A = this chain, B = another copy of it.
Amino acid sequence: MAERASPPAPRAVADRLHSAAIHLLRALRREDRALGVGPAKLSALSVLVFGGPRSIGALARAEQVRLPTMSRLVSTLERDGLATRTPDPEDGRASRVHPTARGRSVLRQGRARRVAMLARRLEQLPEADRALLARAADLIEGLT
């Protein structure tokens, strides 16, 4: 035994990886509900907190949504006290979006909740498997 499996066909790997990602996120998604902040807001906030303040357009590109969608999302973030808008001194058309202290705090909590749930499961794996998953995460991020 321990015979090498047949070489992994890209399509088969793609299919399995696709399913796994869907199921993983579906399970984690439930953790967000307690937060009272929707997934789109959390995700945009995450870009602002970890990537720094930026324009609404840049945020839209980062989140892969259209400008009007992000425009409205930023309005609700502002209304909820999670972000603020300041005029861009260089460009009279643009504004810059910043997370507020409360925004950072909410993000930290949400992220902690999701990550904690996943971490609890990862703890039950042998260390070698955990290392493999860490490497897999990097590979996936590198796929572009």
Contact = CB atoms under 8 A, between A and B. Distances in A.
Interface of A: 5, 7-8, 10-30, 43, 64, 111, 114-116, 118-123, 125, 127, 129-141, 143-144
Contacts of A16: 134, 137-138, 141
Q: How many monomers of this chain does the complex have?
A: 2
Given A8-B131, A20-B137, A121-B144, 17 more contacts: A5-B131, A8-B130, A14-B116, A14-B122, A15-B115, A16-B141, A17-B118, A17-B133, A17-B134, A17-B137, A18-B24, A20-B141, A27-B144, A122-B143, A132-B132, A132-B139, A133-B139
A29 to B, nearest CB: 8
